[in-house]
A and B are shown apart, each in its own frame.
Chain A
Amino acid sequence: MTPTLQPILLADSAHQEPGTGRVTVAGIFDTVSVSPGTDYTAGAVVFFVVRGVHGRVKLNLTYVDLGDDRILVERPVYVEADSPLETIDFTVRVNTIPVPHPGSFAWELYHESELLGAARIEAVYNPTGEA
């Protein structure tokens, strides 16, 4: 069974409220601005929601340069559910987002060889030269 991705977002932070279980995702963004020759180091979270998971399933989260299809960052992510009807909110912290050049990049989530979804981001150079 292939998991179904609902949203995938890049944001400043995400946390779960104790008691209610509600999740707050703050500071959603799709553009990073950096000084030339530097990476984005302010930190971020990749937040996504999946259903259709039964048992423990390995997903792969990758950050891809859409200009030449290079994978710049990746990691496995393990999600677990007792029932495929269960909805899983997942947040992954990333400290540094590489910006080798201005252009288009994407956070992509895979299950085996299937692309579940992607969050595209644009990287621009700050004209003032400030990060």
Chain B
Amino acid sequence: MGGTTSSTHGFSQAGSGDGWVYHTGGVYRFHAHVAAGPGGFEAVAATVPGQVGRGATEAAALDVLRDVLATSLRQAITAGRPLPKTDPLPTPPGTEVRVVIVRLSGTSAA
């Protein structure tokens, strides 16, 4: 028995005061299923029914989906109701899961 242990991992720390942004509202993240097809890419929101973006590239499809979600969020906020939400859809074969962040307004730095 005996011996010593050590780690060769790189180690980094970030303090509490640098870089955190606290949001008071208006910033949302959604998961999307993205697939390539003959006409380009399609991004489908995984938990919000009927929200789809299409584009020539994956990034373009996600940008369109971001705009679609932003419009739906603004309408829901104006109407005083939550955005319809379902349990996450199973990830369809041949698709990749991506994250879409929608920024409406109302952020504050801490």
Contacts and interface: CB of A to CB of B under 8 A. Distances in A.
A89 B12 contact: yes
A21 B7 CA distance: 5
Interface residues of B, number: 36
Contacts of A73: 20-23, 110
Interface of B: 4-16, 19-23, 25, 27-31, 47, 59, 62, 82-83, 85, 97-101, 110
Contacts, number: 112
Interface in A63-80: 64, 68-77, 79-80
Contacts of B30: 69
Q: Assign chain A's interface to a size class.
A: 35 or more
A71 B4 contact: no
A80 B14 CA distance: 13
Judged by DSSP, the binding face of A is strand
Contacts of B22: 72-73, 96, 98
A86 interface: yes
A91 B4 contact: no
A114 B59 CA distance: 12
Given A20-B4, A88-B9, A93-B16, A113 B27 contact: no
B9 A70 contact: no
